Amino acid sequence: MQAEAATARPLVMADVAARAGVSHQTVSRVVNGHHSVAPDTRERVQRAIAELGYRPNLAARALVTGSTRTIGLVTVKINQYGPAQTMLGLESAARAAGYSVSISILDEATAAAMRDAVDRFVAQSVDAVVALTTYDDAAEALRSLDAPVPVVAVQVGGADDRPAVGVDQETGARLATRHLLELGHRTVHHVAGPADSQEARARIAGWRSELEAAGAPVPAVMRGDWTPSSGHAVGRELAARMRAGEDVTAVFLANDQMALGLLSVLHDEGLAVPGDVSLVGFDDLPEAPYFTPPLTSVRQDFAELGRRGVQLVLARLNGEDLHPDAVPPALIVRASTGPPPGVPAPRTCA
């Protein structure tokens, strides 16, 4: 056994070709994802690869094809649920398309950090770069980049020459606001994300547009930073205003983590949700159904967002002019929303 191991040589494409009964060139086409291979032949080659445990020499393949089949992904503030799930969706979709992903996580959303990350990816010979960010400084850096590989934006506004893919944030905010208005609330207060976040501003725009369309008062925006602690701080202010007699019966928060902080304050203050005030979040965290009470939230389809992001990358690599539609959000209604105090719940048909 030891003698055999000592003389064993690495597997090469010729070994796969011999096992599958095809040419070396056919194996190469299958490995490199060419479409000009008959389905039964492709299946035979793939079976031979699996039986032999063959692993392509990626460095050699890159020299021949000029492609590393690698996508560089640069992202910011991955500690938040939305960016983290979007990154996972992109990685899964890239893997399904036969690409690996190299990831650079920035500490700050600055133009200098974004340019440096893209430069490093270019030096690694990636095929394309995906920038996942919603912050203004990083978005401006993307617009000014002149990279030798396609650069695709996800969850941030694109441009005519640099299309982007994202979730329709304004529609999501309108769904949340409309739901609360239809329950009978006179208006809806909003706890927004950071001022330099394009997602946060889009959610403000959707909330405001829905209130204006309904002829409802538009309260002043309250600010958080996506964290539960910022929702908790806003909650203390809101609770004080409610105790002082202000008419606050419905709040739409720009993410579920801030809603969690607000829920904690309301519980401590003895205010009932939704009896005294209704809450809607955004993102639909996996934990949202287990909040007390379960949280009504706007769901983003991060897997679909990742699929469309990779679809856009592949289109750019093929020289295609693709401008994907925004991913539609969905309102998930749970027990944190109801009519305002003194208004009976709407009747449901049996």
d(CA 101, CA 237): 44
Q: Looking at residue 139, what is its pLDDT?
A: 80
Amino acid at the residue 60: A
Range in 13-22, 73-82, 128-137, 329-338 with the lowest mean pLDDT: 73-82
Q: Residue 158's pLDDT band (boundaries 50, 70, 90)? A: low
d(CA 73, CA 117): 9
Backbone angles phi, psi at 205, to 5 degrees: -60, -45
Task: Kindly list the structural domains of the chain, giving each domain's residue range(s) and its CATH number in brackets, ordered by start.
Answer: 9-65 (1.10.260.40), 70-167+302-328 (3.40.50.2300), 169-299 (3.40.50.2300)
Beta bridge partners of 191: 222, 253
Q: Is the separation of the CB atoms in 53 and 111 below 8 Å?
A: no
Pairing, β 278-283 against β 222-223: unpaired
Instruction: Find the mean pLDDT for residues 121-141.
Output: 85
d(CA 135, CA 193): 11
pTM above 0.85, yes or no: no
Res 77 pLDDT > 50: yes
The DSSP 8-state label assigned to residue 270 in this structure reads T
Res 134 pLDDT > 90: no
pLDDT cut 70: percent of the chain above it = 88
> Taking the CA of residue 278 as centre, how many other CA atoms within 13 Å lie in the half-sphere pointing to its CB?
27
Instruction: Find the mean pLDDT for residues 265-272.
Output: 94
pLDDT cut 90: percent of the chain above it = 47
Q: Is the separation of the CB atoms in 65 and 95 below 8 Å?
A: no
Range in 23-37, 171-185, 277-291 with the lowest mean pLDDT: 23-37
Instruction: Find the mean pLDDT for residues 14-25.
Output: 86
pLDDT in tens, 192-201: 999 999 999 9
Q: Who's near 226: CB < 8 A, 6+ residues apart?
A: 77, 80, 193, 194, 254, 255, 257, 258
Q: Residue 161's pLDDT band (boundaries 50, 70, 90)? A: low
Q: Who's near 194: CB < 8 A, 6+ residues apart?
A: 135, 200, 223, 225, 226
Q: Looking at residue 2, what is its pLDDT?
A: 45
Res 186 pLDDT > 80: yes
Tokens linked to 191: 């706890």
Res 337 pLDDT > 80: yes
- What average pLDDT does the chain have? 86
Q: Residue 61's pLDDT band (boundaries 50, 70, 90)? A: low
Q: Who's near 305: CB < 8 A, 6+ residues apart?
A: 86, 89, 90, 154, 155, 165, 166, 167, 327
Return the axis-axis angle of helices 24-31 and 13-20, rounded to nearest 10°. Answer: 110
d(CA 178, CA 275): 19
d(CA 293, CA 274): 8
Res 213 pLDDT > 90: yes
Res 244 pLDDT > 60: yes
> Taking the CA of residue 7 as centre, how many other CA atoms within 13 Å lie in the half-sphere pointing to its CB?
3
Peptide bond into 293 cis (omega under 30): yes
Region at 227 (left for phi over 0; alpha for psi -120 to 50; beta for the rest): beta
Res 138 pLDDT > 70: yes
| Highest-scoring range by mean pLDDT, 72-76, 285-289, 299-303 | 285-289
Q: Which of 303, 302, 294, 305 is nearest to 332 (CA)?
A: 294
Q: Looking at residue 67, what is its pLDDT?
A: 65
Q: Is the separation of the CB atoms in 11 and 54 below 8 Å?
A: yes
Return the axis-axis angle of helices 136-144 and 111-123, rounded to nearest 10°. Answer: 50
Backbone angles phi, psi at 184, to 5 degrees: 110, 5
